[in-house]
């Protein structure tokens, strides 16, 4: 029983000694910040530019696909109208031509989708790198030990949110907008 009491007292002493050190550090509690990346993407100059570029590419590719799809539909209608007066060989040739064009159209759709995904990956990758670099810079400058995305955060004090500061710095880095003052 005495050994148990002695071990318990020593354990409590070690815990108190350890907490004493941590309590002194508690006065300098680690700074944590939160960033809303969706807001950065939607409101920063760089985010808007990336979204505009992607929309322009998407619209161009969709217009091209719409035109090619219309051509295929027109060819199909023409084949249906004229199939009664065509010879069997001519009808088979037009049918084969239609199948080839439909297959080419599907391949083109897939290519355009992949091209658009690649463009999005490149643009968003560059933007993410710029954001990460700025977050690290702000974190070091302001003494944050942790900067997290607000995704998954149930609650944080508004003073912890550095989204507007990040947007200002990002806009300043792109050469448009005002550079945030330290």
41-61 pLDDT, tens digit each: 999 999 999 999 999 999 999
Confidence (pLDDT) at 175: 63
Helix 163-173, helix 88-142: angle, nearest 10: 110
Could you tell me if residue 47 is inside a domain? yes
User: With DSSP H G I counted as helix, E B as strand and the rest as coil, what are the percentages for the chain, rounded to 5?
Assistant: 75, 5, 15
89-134 pLDDT, tens digit each: 988 898 899 999 999 999 999 999 999 999 999 999 999 999 999 9
* Sign of the dihedral defined by the CA atoms of residues 55, 58, 59, 60, in that order: positive
Considering the entire predicted model, what is its pTM? 0.68
Confidence (pLDDT) at 176: 52
Could you tell me if residue 108 is inside a domain? yes
Could you tell me if residue 181 is inside a domain? no
Number of separate domains in the chain? 1
Q: 23: which 2 tokens?
A: 């309590």
Residues 6+ apart with CB under 8 A from 146: 30, 31, 32, 33
Boundaries of domain holding 147: 2-173
6-33 pLDDT, tens digit each: 333 444 434 344 444 444 444 567 899 9
């Amino acid at each position: 029983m005495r050994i148990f009491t002695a071990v318990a007292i020593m354990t409590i002493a070690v815990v108190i000694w350890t907490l004493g050190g941590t309590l002194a550090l508690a006065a300098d509690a680690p700074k944590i910040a939160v960033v809303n990346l969706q807001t950065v993407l939607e409101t920063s100059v760089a985010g808007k530019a990336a979204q505009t570029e992607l929309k322009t590419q998407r619209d161009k590719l969709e217009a091209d696909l719409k035109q090619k799809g219309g051509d295929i539909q027109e060819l199909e209608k023409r084949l249906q109208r004229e199939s009664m007066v065509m010879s069997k060989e001519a009808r088979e040739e037009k049918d084969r031509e239609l199948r080839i064009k439909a297959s080419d159209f599907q391949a083109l759709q897939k290519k355009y989708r992949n091209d658009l995904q690649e463009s999005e990956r490149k643009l968003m990758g560059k933007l993410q790198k710029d954001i990460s670099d700025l977050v690290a810079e702000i974190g070091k400058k302001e003494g944050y030990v942790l900067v997290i995305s607000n995704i998954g955060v149930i609650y944080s004090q508004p003073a912890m949110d550095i989204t507007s500061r990040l947007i200002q710095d990002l806009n300043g880095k792109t050469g448009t907008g005002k550079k945030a003052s330290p």
